[in-house]
Structure 1
């Protein structure tokens, strides 16, 4: 018999003994609701009860019942039930009718389904006794609880497993590693179903676990990461306090040992030997050594240093941060003939020391390193002499500048031959004697052209021409006074007609390509016969001022040319005459220029070259004019039609913008049309074509205006450095489109000069009245 059935049997027997003792039978109210007043049927008289039959309101039912019959839970009974079948018991609430059923006649409650406490630990139901005939409640509805009693049907589970943990190697015994926790879904308040005990099922003896808390600790102090760096433990949790029949659950714990600095660096050998060519470059790595340390990270980092040896200043050792190797680097050049062998004692020590495991002197190791210098065929080596030389620019060709010297550093001492790398002396200013190494000048030197010559001298072994040494020789050219001073800029000077005496109109400065040691000292002067209305004052600071005298008349002399003599004061002293062009202008009261002379002469260049250039320009212009006249005389104008003649004669006057149809109204075309060629009579001309007095005055105004424009063009420094020739000619004959380009009419059949055509007398008449240009065009 199960515990639940036994409990119910005992309860039934106890109730039976209570009834046999003469006590009143239990009412529903007394059983389920002891605080009730014990009233009778609803709506009836007050039922006075002598005492309560039973005081309790909770039933128990065992979970996971697997019997074939419904499981008896308990019995409900009302005091008003006389056993005559007039009372009907009704059950409602959680699981009523679906899980729990009640016999409405006897009040017996049964569980019809298998219950699981872990899903629902108790059920709250309501019970009522009703009159079977009227269905009226005999007592108020009462609430009671059916509690599901636990059995050990759940095994422990590690919800956070599997576990990983770390512990330092060589940790003392009892060091906490990790805490494992298992849970049991059974009722912890009832029995031992949820009381767990932990143990290690599998794993090395280096670890232990506390049975009640699940704390994993170190059990031995001999944990060495360099021997074994991780361990796997299997932890078991068993309920029922570990007794037989309890359920179990397991999890795994991976323990990793972290490193501590408990191992010193050790060289795998007691000595090392390396070969180094004597041609090795400074700062090059010539050897690598490495001490071994089984520790990790910072605990394995080490420093190398040279303790002693004959190469302390020649070699240096550093640590490679990636490989922890000791890198021996060269600090000085090697020479096999001077020292063929070097011996060093090198120490490797841990950078970070943990004194808790090893004594202070145990974290280092020493090794001997031998370096054998290998002999190689080296190129010639230049001596330190001859790095920089000086020579005057005035020396003649073939003068010695200096000499260089080189030798073969090898034991064979091969002879050398000298040469100059022509890439460094393209113009071949210097030569070198191939045997003696003496450098001489091959051309005239000019400091103002090249002040410093950078020569690359080559020394080649005669026994092995592939061995070539190089040296850089700087030849500085010293200065002599061979350049005369001149104006610093091209001056554009003007003076006002009413300028007062002593007024400074220009401050002159000079430049000289030479570079005297004590600087330039220029002297300025102005010859008296050329001074005129100007004086020169030397300011004693390498500048001079031009001052005026009164009485400038622009019409009398519009331009003044002042020859200024500039001397450099050198030895020997050199001087030059520079012409300053001063233009006379009419000025405002404020001194601003209003109008200058009609022809502004460009500043003249000193010397005969200036005069020659001017004469050349004049001859060139005369030649152009003569050639143009010859071309004009060699051409004849073809016969024109009446339409062409009308068009030609209509260009008699054109001094305003086109006005469309108004142009045709400006002239009498019928008067101009002539059917027969002949001399143009004055009475045939339109009166508008004849010049008036005002028009004749305008001619002089236009001439003056053209002269001013020419002066401005000559003084414009931004203008192109050449003259332009503009051709003014009539349109070519037969041009229906009316092209205005004179170039389009230049063919062997066209004449450029209308004065040479058959209408020449007419245009000469107009030209005499109005004037004409070189192209024959009538001027208005």
Structure 2
């Protein structure tokens, strides 16, 4: 009886099991009450209860606590979150605050009883559930819906493409969580928009009727979600809908007729421009015009394109056509938009069907003027087959030409890059005038030589047409095998073989593979050909060879035994990484101190020579001595008192004077005789002679080209310059004559005297007028003096007597 009583006390507050905790209990094993065991139960609470807290909800007992000091304890989420508590002494369970079922729909609570003395469990633990009963405290809310969207006015009635999702977080499958979604307001009201269910949470919007962009461009749609609870709760959402403009107006031509004249067989662009007008939104597919031919363009000769900027139609002639006579062409052209036409009429959407709304159209008249048609080649392209290197003179091709407008025409050669053919102006025969070489650069890779000819009629203006003649050249064996490279490198430090590339300009079967042979049998002692047959040969050295150059005559044969003979130059050397001969290292030396000293001394000597050259460069160049055999009449201004006859003073001339002292001419090129030496006695004798005769006599020895020495006196050319100078000048001259090495100074002084004489007397090659010298001397002529008995002995000049001594004293 006691056990049943305790069970009733515990289980009475929770006779009805909740659904929230039922799922949790299924996850745990069901505990069955046995003797001295806790009783499992479920306590049900209403969410958001409006009571005084703490609020008593149940009381716990245990039959093993009699006679013991004990305490009760509960644990779980409800305790830690502060919703439930228990009186340790009495076992009374209290709820401390209101519970939100949407947050905590169920609590799982564990009970224990402890001995206060030992703090040990008196009995095994027991668990029970606290389920929170739902109330309608949450309205359904919209979780997914577009705030704005756009629909075209050409949209057909039905689904708008908009989905709306709502949710009520109250307990599932109850009236509190069941709701409806409806459109409670729409501005403007037409077309009618509804919400249709897809599932228990989702609806989509649809409409009946049609949109008109000109009437309404924007709509406001208010949706309501309302549950079935008591009392019912609801929420709303507003969606903004924009209407997009589409093709609701047909384009119209601004002008209905067009006319023009053109010449046949010519292409024209932008013949006409067709302006149109469209009331739809610019730069949209409902505004952009699309032109099409209704009739007259069956051969697709004409074309109309749309200007993307102006929306005009551009009319062009894109295909040539030959009209026999002047012809008038009638065309009919229509216009429509890229986007199909639609119209909302009386709440119904009407599409273009060709009955109610037809595209606008225009008429175009074109007069095609018949021109002189060119001759027509039949066929326009010709193929001719010829063997290369054939003898010239053969007729290669004769064209066939038809001209509908004229029976007279001529031919001309338009393109013949190699000048191999000629053409007959009357018949058009193409004849070879040179041998044709298939390997010529004017022949393409397909062995074709192309020639272009033209036929020209006699119309006004003349018309011309062209024909392409392709001459296919057949190959012959007219080329011999030859080396691609006459010089090869054999790396002696790497291998003993080098490949020999060979080429033959002929094609199969007149080219490779080739056979290779030595032209000199001696080469077989050092070399071997391996391979000796193929597109290229291989040259192998039989033994190591000294580095150097080797010439190897080779003989090469093609498949038809046409031989080529060439000499292969092989360089055997020490190679680097890329099979190139290493360059020889240059010899290097290291200069020491003496070496640098010699370099510096050499530089200084070079600078000295350079300065000397620069200093002397300003002087007059050395002229060749000219001793022209001039004769000078010597004028004696003072002869002393011992002479009875005083000669009247006369002007002397440096030019040749009759009865003067003759001078021996010398050669232009001269040089000082190496055997010429001066001595003091010779100078003394010359000085005495100058003093006695008032005559300066300078001896110089010259070696002529014949090796003979010639003497010449410089006194006759210098006398006019020395007359008014002091004897210091003569001392200077004497000192210069004593120097064997101052030839340059002597030549310069002589040239100065010659220059003074030339300045006085400019006439060289004309008769010379002498100055008047008086009535004549009372003394006898010098011609009466005979010096032939003296011979070549000039010692008598050493002492010329007192008269000359007096003269010499005066001059000194």
TM-score range, shorter chain: 0.3 to 0.5
Q: TM-score, normalised by structure 1?
A: 0.38
